[in-house]
Structure 1
Amino acid sequence: MSTCSASENNVESVVRVVDLRSDTVSLPTPNMRRAIYEAVVGDDVYGEDPTVNELERRSAEMFGKQAALFVPTGTMGNLLAVMVHCSRRGTEAIVGDMAHIFLYEQGGAAQIGGVLLNTIKNQPDGSFDLSELQKKFRGYDVHEPQTALVLVENTHNMCGGKVLQLQWLDDLSKICKEMTAKIHMDGARIFNAAEYLEVPVSRIVRDVDSICFCLSKGLACPVGSVLVGSNDFIKEAHRLRKALGGGMRQVGFLAAAGLCAFDEIIPTLKKDHERARRIAQYIQGMKSPFFKVDVENLHTNIVMIQILTNKIKSCVFGKRLTEVLPRELELGIVDTYGNGISVKVSARDWSFARIVVYTNITDEDIDLAIKKIKYVIEEFESNMK
């Protein structure tokens, strides 16, 4: 939550902003800021930053793997994994067609790593058909690239924060072992998956070869992700990190935030899920002919508001939620101080708008977001008559 001037909307008041665009906008807690300030640091390129070393040690231990590597971003972590597992240029990785690695990482696997990404259709739950996967493995013909890697995402962002089921992961692992292919998991929000499944993250990643998880999304850290895997995998990833410009010096200031997040934020993720569900249930309870949420299949902290008509554009709906107009103030669409409400959601050229709840979002923020979303949905419905 924040406040800002609403002069751009010609309303002379302060506006209460509830920012639900993404958990990437989460802010460090007071304890986290203190940990950053007090961190003991050293030169990490020399391996001499004790706080980074402790973050990496605890990450490996938590995930049941041998080693870990702190990296600036999840995009870098995923790219490193692809480059290590597909070390020969011209090899292939199979990835879901709705995956972050395929859609939103600039094709770095091909652009930088010389690795072909071959897509497979994602199912609504974030998985893909394993029979179809088996048919996609290539390399038996001299004309084909060799499939070396399968990429999965957990939770799955564009599928609405869906969690991959353990049995599906077990079955995937058996297939990949038979085909001598590795598995990398983009686990940007994997702790949300663990909360949903009520299992430790080590169980989720038991049969995958590498994992990258984000500190700077739902864990509220300012910067950073961690790549986890075997000793040999991390040794090679560490070397390639330098080539990608990821060698950092006194980075323990950032690693300290991660250590704090392990103890302070992870235990509270259930609240994010509960608050997301409140929004979803309210919207679905409105029984709007134009806006729908699949509450039954809501897993974590991401809510997809499906827009059921092409006459309402997602970006227009999103923009309207941010606006505060005089009529709203007259009707009491305000907070307890009489301030207008602006709700930010993620909305582009999609058939949906996305809401993401994170640790800084309070119950009061949820109440205000519901009030504004209800008003705007009813306004659209009235205009459609």
Structure 2
Amino acid sequence: MEIEKRIRKEEDIHYPKTSLICVENAHSSGRVVSLEVMEEIYQVAKKHNLQVHLDGARLFNASSYLNVDVKEVTKNVDSVMFCLSKGLCAPVGSILAGKKDFIAKAKKNRKLMGGGLRQAGFLAAAGLVALKEMRENLKTDHEKAILLAKELEKIPGIKLNKEDIHLNMVFFDMRDTGLVSDHVVEKFLEKGIKINGEEDGLMRFVTHYWITEEDIHFVVDLLKSLMNK
């Protein structure tokens, strides 16, 4: 496995020893790491006495795509962080989870760094709503992303790969349309739509709970209108 080749041994004095493997699932590229790969990474880590941490900012999107309980995605890691404010739609917040001694150490380090928040219950309440009521909506978000991709694909000059759409994110290349990224960002903002400029030649749209099918068609029509000017 490629990751095993990257592990630095203690006897090499030129580099710090590897002590942790971090995995992001779902990945910010919009793709999901399979359960088989997660298990393989974990076995490599244990072979070298390493810990595995899961950056699960979009963890529930990953479990939705894989159609498994979130416990299946996290069973081959030692600790996990997941976000409540992305697909789950809480106003703010993330959760760190792990074994009792790990969490105790994390709390101490948080206090050492000046962390902490008094009267955080109102944020926790919103987080509980997100966990209890929003998880089932993620499949709909993914379906809306597929719809958006299908509509974008109809525009001459736009390139995308629908096979890469595992989540609620659509990456597309519009360089062959003649449109300039900064111009699109500016014109979209005039209509109340915020989008980042291109990165490595790709633009990104993200669907979520508050995005409707009507919104999707509005965005696509707006992009078409910019091409016709």
TM-score (norm 2): 0.92
Residue type at the aligned position of 1:262: L
Partner deviation per Cα, 1:305-356 (whole Å, 9 max, x = no partner)? 2234596543333223334xxxxxxxxxxxxxxxxx4432222554111111
C-alpha distance in 1 between matches for 2:219 and 2:94: 30
**Aligned residues with identical type, % of pairs:** 38
C-alpha distance in 1 between matches for 2:207 and 2:20: 32
Q: Determine which structure has more spread, i.e. the larger CA radius of gyration.
A: 1
Which residue of the other structure, out of 1, 15, 27, is the alignment partner of 1:144?
A: 15
SS in 2 for 1:142: coil
**1:226 CA displacement:** 0.1
Are 2:161 and 1:294 equivalent residues in the alignment? yes
Match of 1:316 in 2: 183
- Gap change, CA 1:362 and 1:228, over 3 Å in 2: same
C-alpha distance in 2 between matches for 1:190 and 1:177: 22
**1:170 CA displacement:** 1.1
Partner deviation per Cα, 1:6-61 (whole Å, 9 max, x = no partner)? xxxxxxxxxxxxxxxxxxxxxxxxxxxxxxxxxxxxxxxxxxxxxxxxxxxxxxxx
Match of 1:259 in 2: 128
Please say if residues 84 and 131 of structure 2, whose CA atoms lie closer than 8 Å, have aligned partners that are also in contact. Answer: no
Residue type at the aligned position of 1:272: D
Q: What 5-or-longer segments of structure 1 have no aligned partner?
A: 1-129, 324-340
C-alpha distance in 2 between matches for 1:367 and 1:244: 46
Please say if residues 80 and 98 of structure 2, whose CA atoms lie closer than 8 Å, have aligned partners that are also in contact. Answer: yes
CA RMSD of aligned residues (A): 1.9
Match of 1:347 in 2: 197
Runs of 4+ in structure 1 over 3 Å off:
307-313
5 Å matches for 1:169-180? 169-180=38-49
- Gap change, CA 1:144 and 1:349, over 3 Å in 2: closer
Match of 2:93 in 1: 224
Match of 2:225 in 1: 375
Match of 1:163 in 2: 32
C-alpha distance in 2 between matches for 1:149 and 1:277: 35
Residue type at the aligned position of 1:353: M
C-alpha distance in 2 between matches for 1:300 and 1:170: 21
SS in 2 for 1:250: coil
Match of 1:366 in 2: 216
Q: Which moved more, 1:314-323 or 1:201-210?
A: 314-323
Partner deviation per Cα, 1:211-233 (whole Å, 9 max, x = no partner)? 10011222121221000111111
5 Å matches for 1:1-385? 130-131=1-2, 133-138=3-8, 139-157=10-28, 159=29, 161-286=30-155, 288-289=156-157, 291-309=158-176, 312-323=179-190, 341-376=191-226, 378-379=227-228
**1:249 CA displacement:** 1.5
Query: Larger strand proportion, structure 1 or 2?
Result: 1
Report 1 or 2 for greater relative contact order, CA contacts < 8 Å, sequence distance ≥ 6: 1
Partner deviation per Cα, 1:83-112 (whole Å, 9 max, x = no partner)? xxxxxxxxxxxxxxxxxxxxxxxxxxxxxx
Residue type at the aligned position of 2:110: R
Please say if residues 342 and 372 of structure 1, whose CA atoms lie closer than 8 Å, have aligned partners that are also in contact. Answer: no
Q: What 5-or-longer segments of structure 2 have no aligned partner?
A: none
